[in-house]
Structure 1
């Protein structure tokens, strides 16, 4: 056991309260003082107990993760940091190290999942933190860092950057990554502030938050500068920006010079840095006044550190060796290694370097099998082992730009690209998989790695026979055609181009056909990150479409066939859950006012075509009244069921959207939703259940209450972890039964919600893929038009009545889209020059 009442602590974590009421953490809707942060940290530290235990933190860039991290350091519990969005890596490391406690974000309070009382581990007194060096593979090889490592590196970074209490750093990197974590540590050590966010630098909302919170710095890896160039960063007005740091891989000297000049003109400094996880992040920095003149160097050792260069046999340049108080204790590859103390005194970097007469160091090459890509250190041997475990003979090479894999006897390189990228945590465009008959080899029989790397050069990249590659231009073409936006750029996203849930369907169908299965957040990804990838064009009997798309298509077909009386299968209420699900996905990004604009715009996209069609129906028939046209029948309509109730679904949807839009316009509600993304819709669900169980009369003559189903779908979209999904599942199973007088109908709603919760995509016959997309996109319009279409055709043929209703609805959808294109206005600009996003909640 490892109980130590006088155990060493990490100083900057244990002394938070000394900074008093100074702001420690600023988010989009909240400010947390150091005193308040210390109280939260002390509370979680008390829950962890005094006996030292091994903890794992599923970390995100949120307050809960920060509090849990600091609590573990304060209480002296060795902590293993793992990215929360990589469940495979979490599972792998939990299995390998069998932690005593697992920490994760909750709804404002970190979750402390105790796997056992006490501990089963022998933990060295100096051990404070465990970090991976190989991206998100879940590799059991970890870096062991001490309390002194963390304090020393934080102080050193704060010293050479001149961090003071008035500085505010915006988080642009994951805290599970040593570079991102060093930003937190160095600022907390000086009583400075953190602008905590997980927004990307390509998101206009990031820059809105950056300005609003008067941020003074942010951290960048080489890939970040490509993104900054796309969003017009050089022209942005950022009056408080003091410096930008760069690490995570070599930035080309010409780019260093370019951004140094940009910074000089705009009044901020570029600080190029060099480091490694084994050195608790930083080993060298280039003084900003030298950035333009000495762009090819890594600079000088950080305060307290030193370099030397050891000769390497057969090489012109020697290996760079670092010493300093931030050098790790050593590696861990199994739980027993956690009892070990210091096993190394210096860090052999694996980099070949030279020292210039002015004392600046320059890295000229590598002698190891590691590369850094978009800021992640990738173990090429680990990539080959991952593929070998799958039965694939492969060789991996790479540069600072991309990972190149040559794989023998592989049919579907697209699938393999996706697997490799997800396994190591790289964006798919940074991975090139090339199918070869045999791996290229030297005369000695060893793999010819330069030849493998050459496969990744643009002229040499060719898709496998029977496959074709879709590039950024193809993605731009799809966006331009679907959204009628000829101005699509590499940095644009589906959301920034004003995509909504109707165009979302059309775009996703075409993109998946071109690129393969899309990541869940593709609508927030820049065009460049969605391409290129080779796609196998062989015959497929089954295709996969996103669950919400399939549910919308199936539901609207069932609604029409039920009304035609071919069979009875009522699915309308499933669509209210889908509407809540999509509201959470599309409408809750960014700050309050842009959100409100998007929500009002999306509400208009429901109301305008509905009112227009119902007005025509009112003029052509005697079935509808002015109350129908104004969408007020649910409030002033007759008690008995008549044709005037045909459009009840549209009215209820509009009522719900008006209610949630008005609610989210309130500053306190907006702040609450951001802080408690799951608890907020669960609270709305509780309110909705008041009318669902007739505790309070909703005041509507006929329709049964549906707001609670909308809230249930909203909660399904916000449930991230297995525990959260299980909670929403339980609530679904408890609340839906008894709502209808039909068990089948209740099971239909339950099935719909559970599919949204647990299943990302559903299979459809490959030949029906495009038709399914059309039906989903046109679902609202089919619902509107079928009331006028099917009655005249039922006597001729019920099947014809169904088909004609579906076709008429799709035709109305096409007409409305063309009319809206004609009236489309230039998007309202947001900070940073990017267009405001919009999305239909359906």
Structure 2
């Protein structure tokens, strides 16, 4: 056992108390001052003891992890940082490096597992931190960083970002990732605040937190900008935002120009940055005022750093070499390397670069991004640039035998392969182009080139059945439910295009896999849904909660058909379904930018219109009960004023009218902005407008069905009501508006009860054995509504119960048929586009 005294510490971690009562950390409802943070750090440092030891920390974006990280740095213990959500990575590195102490987040304070009283390692006095390279986790190859590296890079970043005590950064990147860690270091150096969160930028709760804590910045990787477009970031009102930083890979120039202009108009700056773990994080930055005019540049060296370009034989551009106090000590491949001092003085980045007359540097490719195929040297970066010039986002990988390219969007792979063969001189047979919905990425947002290569690999084995063990199993469920092959750890059900029609199947499968689901699971990422160990062996109870919206849909269709078949008399449930439709519209159709919202809304509308028109056409041809007005869903305008069989499909018509009107309304820029800025007030305004027709103040040209916009808007408002007073206000509006709607107290009471259940009961306890049945009824409710008009009339005189059961079975069969046809068409289209094997990518 080696006994070593504690050496010098990292100053920004050791001097926290100098900022006294300045707010340091915002973690949930807790606000911690620098003095209080220093006290907590000191307490954990004391628990680590006076002998210098190798410490491994399984880190998350939480207070315990932050305190543990700072305690190790302030006390001089070399720290090996790994992600808390990847136990396999922690296990691998613990096996490889045998740390003396393992720390994990606990319940209010870090948990320390002391594996020995001293240390078995020789630890170099300058060694402070060990990080995995290039976003990888679990690999034995680590970057060795010194106390000076961490302090110098934090100072350089704080200088060019002008970080002050009034700044507050939201932690949008993992703590174990060097970029995310640099945000923490640079802000603590200057006495700024950290808004600790692991929420994704696609989660509305993240933006509520950002506004409430008056955060001034957040960090983004290229993939983050795709997510920002989905949630409508360009239209958000963020008065406290001072700057946005980008690193973690090359951001395409068009996006740089667009966001630089957006920032200029909104009063914040865009900092495009360049770095590597081997340089502790940052090596260069592009001044914001130069971004729009130089969107392809990495900019200038950070303060204290310098570049040079060394020639590379056979290439026009040379390799970028960086020097500065933030250059790592060297690599570690095993525990013996922890005793080594500095083994390199400069960092050969592996990037090919050029310097422009303006003094700005541009990275044009990677030395290692070359392959030799049939004797030709192929620049994979150039392949991507050729396709980018054609407007095709792509990721290129390759071996000595074949060039493999993933292209995003609905492009024709064969045509692109021919174009590339002509441009770069390769035989067509040596190029494989695969169309994917989204380019595969690592958790850090960088392109996943291993996944690109795997597109040419044999079809992977079918996933195992049984309970989920982690993100891959959650990913499999979403991929199969939504027929997506590109589900990543940062995707959510909503971001993947899920809607109310696919929600039921996904929620039931996830519930069986995970044991229980949070109410906002559809907004949580695959990583966030991964089960904790204690979830994996949860005993199933006889009664288990099922989401109220699912129960209402299942119960409503039974009551609707049962009433029509005269099994019992319980009207009003169709109008409850209209409120449920508004509730689901708000949950699934209002994420992303204006155009992506519109696409999602039209796609969802199509999933109602197409099966409805197909069945109504069949009913029109098979019976004499319907008219041409039914075929085009215009009976409400053109049909008879008296109730006849032609009014059977009124609910479908009214739902299509309302959804279509909402799609048109929200496609208008000012309406889109208003809905984002006033998420609850907007549907309440629509409710008020609908109540004008409900109370007859405004007369509609639709002759027969009672007005339903206000019910749809009330359901929408329920989904947006986040607090108890807000839910109470929406409930009060329902209590005032519903009575007297039909003049039938029982019917009105049914509608009001359904709305109140939706508002106040996120889930309803039902026998666990009924979950699958209720899910089937809810999923097929629209289809059962369509088909029952042709099924129950012939059976009701014989047995009303048989009529109801047959109607529900017919609806389930029609739902299954439509689902099979949709998936078959999608698979054939995907196969025709050359998407490649099913799986991530």
**d(CA) in 2 for partners of 1:449 and 1:121?**
54
CA contact (8 A) 2:81 2:130 kept: yes
How far does the alpha carbon of each residue in 1:712-745 deviate from its partner, in whole angstroms, 9 at most, with x for none?
A: x99xxxxxxxxxxxxxxxxxxxxxxxxxxxxxxx
User: Do the aligned partners of residues 358 and 612 (structure 1) sit closer, same or farther apart at CA in structure 2, a change above 3 Å counting?
Assistant: closer
1:106 partnered with 2:120:
no
**1:815 CA drift (Å):** 13
CA contact (8 A) 1:781 1:810 kept: no
**1:614 CA drift (Å):** 8.8
User: Do the aligned partners of residues 403 and 76 (structure 1) sit closer, same or farther apart at CA in structure 2, a change above 3 Å counting?
Assistant: farther
Residue 282 of structure 2: SS of its match in structure 1?
Answer: strand
Residue 66 of structure 2: SS of its match in structure 1?
Answer: helix
**d(CA) in 1 for partners of 2:478 and 2:27?**
35
User: Do the aligned partners of residues 810 and 331 (structure 1) sit closer, same or farther apart at CA in structure 2, a change above 3 Å counting?
Assistant: farther
Q: Over the residues paired in the alignment, what is the CA RMSD in angstroms? A: 5.6
| Partner of residue 285, structure 1 | 285
**1:317 CA drift (Å):** 2.2
1:511 partnered with 2:511:
no
**d(CA) in 1 for partners of 2:315 and 2:401?**
36
How far does the alpha carbon of each residue in 1:465-509 deviate from its partner, in whole angstroms, 9 at most, with x for none?
A: 9989xxxxxxxxxxxxxxxxxxxxxxxxxxxxxxxxxxxx9x958
**d(CA) in 2 for partners of 1:9 and 1:151?**
10
How far does the alpha carbon of each residue in 1:586-634 deviate from its partner, in whole angstroms, 9 at most, with x for none?
A: 39979xxxxxxxxx995476479769979989x9999x9xxxxxxxxxx
**d(CA) in 1 for partners of 2:552 and 2:216?**
44
**d(CA) in 2 for partners of 1:332 and 1:801?**
76
CA contact (8 A) 1:140 1:333 kept: yes
| Partner of residue 212, structure 2 | 212
Residue 483 of structure 2: SS of its match in structure 1?
Answer: helix
1:135 partnered with 2:141:
no
CA contact (8 A) 2:551 2:778 kept: no
| Partner of residue 70, structure 1 | 70
**d(CA) in 1 for partners of 2:64 and 2:125?**
26
**1:13 CA drift (Å):** 0.7
CA contact (8 A) 1:550 1:776 kept: no
**d(CA) in 1 for partners of 2:137 and 2:14?**
32
**1:28 CA drift (Å):** 3.8
| Partner of residue 236, structure 2 | 236
**d(CA) in 1 for partners of 2:428 and 2:183?**
36
User: Do the aligned partners of residues 6 and 130 (structure 1) sit closer, same or farther apart at CA in structure 2, a change above 3 Å counting?
Assistant: closer
| Partner of residue 265, structure 2 | 265
| Partner of residue 455, structure 1 | 433
**1:86 CA drift (Å):** 2.2
**1:70 CA drift (Å):** 1.0
**1:29 CA drift (Å):** 2.6
User: Do the aligned partners of residues 61 and 525 (structure 1) sit closer, same or farther apart at CA in structure 2, a change above 3 Å counting?
Assistant: farther
Gaps of 5+ in 1: 371-379, 382-394, 411-415, 418-426, 435-441, 443-447, 469-504, 531-544, 554-576, 591-599, 625-660, 668-709, 715-747, 753-770, 783-799, 817-842
| Partner of residue 368, structure 1 | 368
**1:254 CA drift (Å):** 2.7
**1:269 CA drift (Å):** 0.8
User: Do the aligned partners of residues 528 and 403 (structure 1) sit closer, same or farther apart at CA in structure 2, a change above 3 Å counting?
Assistant: farther
**d(CA) in 2 for partners of 1:113 and 1:287?**
45
**1:12 CA drift (Å):** 0.8
**d(CA) in 2 for partners of 1:248 and 1:546?**
32
**How do 1:707-786 residues align onto structure 2 when only pairs under 5 Å count?**
776-778=775-777
**d(CA) in 2 for partners of 1:126 and 1:449?**
53
Q: TM-score, normalised by structure 2?
A: 0.54
**d(CA) in 1 for partners of 2:16 and 2:27?**
18
**1:356 CA drift (Å):** 2.4
**d(CA) in 1 for partners of 2:129 and 2:146?**
7
Residue 256 of structure 1: SS of its match in structure 2?
Answer: helix
CA contact (8 A) 1:131 1:277 kept: yes
User: Do the aligned partners of residues 263 and 99 (structure 1) sit closer, same or farther apart at CA in structure 2, a change above 3 Å counting?
Assistant: same
**d(CA) in 2 for partners of 1:216 and 1:307?**
30
How far does the alpha carbon of each residue in 1:225-279 deviate from its partner, in whole angstroms, 9 at most, with x for none?
A: 2222222222211111111111111122232222111111111111111111111
**1:2 CA drift (Å):** 5.3
**1:429 CA drift (Å):** 8.5
How far does the alpha carbon of each residue in 1:265-309 deviate from its partner, in whole angstroms, 9 at most, with x for none?
A: 111111111111111011111111111122222111111111122
| Partner of residue 295, structure 2 | 295
CA contact (8 A) 2:6 2:77 kept: no
**How do 1:302-317 residues align onto structure 2 when only pairs under 5 Å count?**
302-317=302-317
User: Do the aligned partners of residues 346 and 29 (structure 1) sit closer, same or farther apart at CA in structure 2, a change above 3 Å counting?
Assistant: same
**1:515 CA drift (Å):** 4.1
**d(CA) in 2 for partners of 1:198 and 1:452?**
43
| Partner of residue 126, structure 1 | 126
| Partner of residue 37, structure 2 | 37
CA contact (8 A) 1:404 1:452 kept: no
**d(CA) in 2 for partners of 1:806 and 1:49?**
71
**d(CA) in 2 for partners of 1:227 and 1:521?**
9
**How do 1:254-403 residues align onto structure 2 when only pairs under 5 Å count?**
254-369=254-369
| Partner of residue 521, structure 2 | 586
**How do 1:85-100 residues align onto structure 2 when only pairs under 5 Å count?**
85-100=85-100
User: Do the aligned partners of residues 332 and 456 (structure 1) sit closer, same or farther apart at CA in structure 2, a change above 3 Å counting?
Assistant: farther
How far does the alpha carbon of each residue in 1:501-549 deviate from its partner, in whole angstroms, 9 at most, with x for none?
A: xxxx9x958834834797788644622799xxxxxxxxxxxxxx98964
**d(CA) in 2 for partners of 1:66 and 1:228?**
27
**d(CA) in 2 for partners of 1:237 and 1:513?**
32
| Partner of residue 23, structure 1 | 23
Residue 331 of structure 1: SS of its match in structure 2?
Answer: strand
Q: TM-score, normalised by structure 1?
A: 0.54
User: Do the aligned partners of residues 53 and 262 (structure 1) sit closer, same or farther apart at CA in structure 2, a change above 3 Å counting?
Assistant: same
User: Do the aligned partners of residues 151 and 228 (structure 1) sit closer, same or farther apart at CA in structure 2, a change above 3 Å counting?
Assistant: same
Residue 214 of structure 1: SS of its match in structure 2?
Answer: coil
| Partner of residue 194, structure 1 | 194
1:163 partnered with 2:163:
yes
**d(CA) in 2 for partners of 1:452 and 1:56?**
45
**d(CA) in 1 for partners of 2:127 and 2:225?**
35
CA contact (8 A) 1:775 1:810 kept: no
**d(CA) in 1 for partners of 2:86 and 2:111?**
18
How far does the alpha carbon of each residue in 1:785-830 deviate from its partner, in whole angstroms, 9 at most, with x for none?
A: xxxxxxxxxxxxxxx99999987877899999xxxxxxxxxxxxxx
**How do 1:510-529 residues align onto structure 2 when only pairs under 5 Å count?**
511-512=480-481, 514-515=483-484, 523-524=492-493, 526-527=495-496
Quick check: 196-205 or 459-468, which moved more?
Answer: 459-468
Residue 143 of structure 2: SS of its match in structure 1?
Answer: strand
**How do 1:434-513 residues align onto structure 2 when only pairs under 5 Å count?**
455=433, 511-512=480-481
User: Do the aligned partners of residues 773 and 318 (structure 1) sit closer, same or farther apart at CA in structure 2, a change above 3 Å counting?
Assistant: same
**d(CA) in 2 for partners of 1:605 and 1:428?**
38
**d(CA) in 1 for partners of 2:362 and 2:553?**
63
User: Do the aligned partners of residues 98 and 467 (structure 1) sit closer, same or farther apart at CA in structure 2, a change above 3 Å counting?
Assistant: closer
**1:409 CA drift (Å):** 13
How far does the alpha carbon of each residue in 1:143-175 deviate from its partner, in whole angstroms, 9 at most, with x for none?
A: 000011000000110011100000011111111
Residue 281 of structure 1: SS of its match in structure 2?
Answer: coil
**d(CA) in 2 for partners of 1:143 and 1:773?**
50
**1:776 CA drift (Å):** 4.4
**1:108 CA drift (Å):** 2.1
CA contact (8 A) 2:493 2:524 kept: no
User: Do the aligned partners of residues 601 and 231 (structure 1) sit closer, same or farther apart at CA in structure 2, a change above 3 Å counting?
Assistant: farther
| Partner of residue 184, structure 1 | 184
**How do 1:528-539 residues align onto structure 2 when only pairs under 5 Å count?**
none
User: Do the aligned partners of residues 316 and 509 (structure 1) sit closer, same or farther apart at CA in structure 2, a change above 3 Å counting?
Assistant: closer
**d(CA) in 1 for partners of 2:346 and 2:57?**
28
